[in-house]
Structure formats: C-alpha cells, structure tokens
Amino acid sequence: MRALSALGAGVILITGCASQRPVLYPDEHIRRVGGIAADRDIDDCIRRAEESRSAGDAKAAGEAGTDASARVPSSPAAAISGLFGKPELSSIQKVFVNKCLRDKGYDPIGWN
C-alpha cells in the first residue's frame, strides 16, 4: 500500500511539472498537414520562444553584472520545474508561440 501511495505521488509530481503545449483548433489546415507536422511546428515555435527567452536572459544577466539574484528561481515551483526539465513558458512567450503558429496557418485556442 505504501509503495502504491509513493507511485501515485510520483505520477502527480511528474504530471504537475509537464510542459504545457498549445491546443490547435481542428480546422482544414491541421487536417491537411496532419498531426505529426503540427507537432513539429509547435515544437519549432516553442523552441523559438525559448531562444527569445535565452536572448532576454543573457541581456538581463549582462545588465545585472554579477548580481546573484539574476540566477535565483522566482518561486519554489520554478525551482522544482527546473529540476525536471525545461521551465514553463512565460505568458509573453505563449503569445509568441501563438503568433508563430498563426503565421504557419494554425488557429491556437488555448494551452494544456
């Protein structure tokens, strides 16, 4: 019983830290290109948004000099999510991803 409880807690922890992804409206474009191509396009847009964050972080770190606070996670959730993979995208980066997807012909309707 104890092992089952530990397994359930582990699943909740991992699920809670999973990266969010945009949800696309199932219109003609997505039916034409297919799910695999849509997933590749989502990954590409997320990668581009993360690169924009990296560029912004590098600029902020340069402005901060050796200030240690520039490297400290903003919350316990950010610190924990950093341990299990990529941090969640900011709201601005999600807007970036949505625009990138619209430019590719998709219609993002939310995030899961």
Q: How far apart are CA 54 and CA 90, in angstroms?
A: 12
The per-residue pLDDT for range 82-96, each reduced to its tens digit, is 566 678 899 999 999
Q: What pLDDT, on a 0 to 100 scale, did the predictor assign at position 82?
A: 54
Q: How far apart are CA 78 and CA 88, in angstroms?
A: 8
Q: How far apart are CA 17 and CA 81, in angstroms?
A: 6
Checking if the pLDDT of 75 tops 50, the result is yes
Residue with tokens 């999600």: 94
The per-residue pLDDT for range 25-72, each reduced to its tens digit, is 999 999 999 999 999 999 999 999 999 877 666 555 555 544 444 445
The structural domains of the chain, with segments of one domain joined by +, span 20-111
Q: What are phi and psi of 3, to 5 degrees?
A: -65, -40
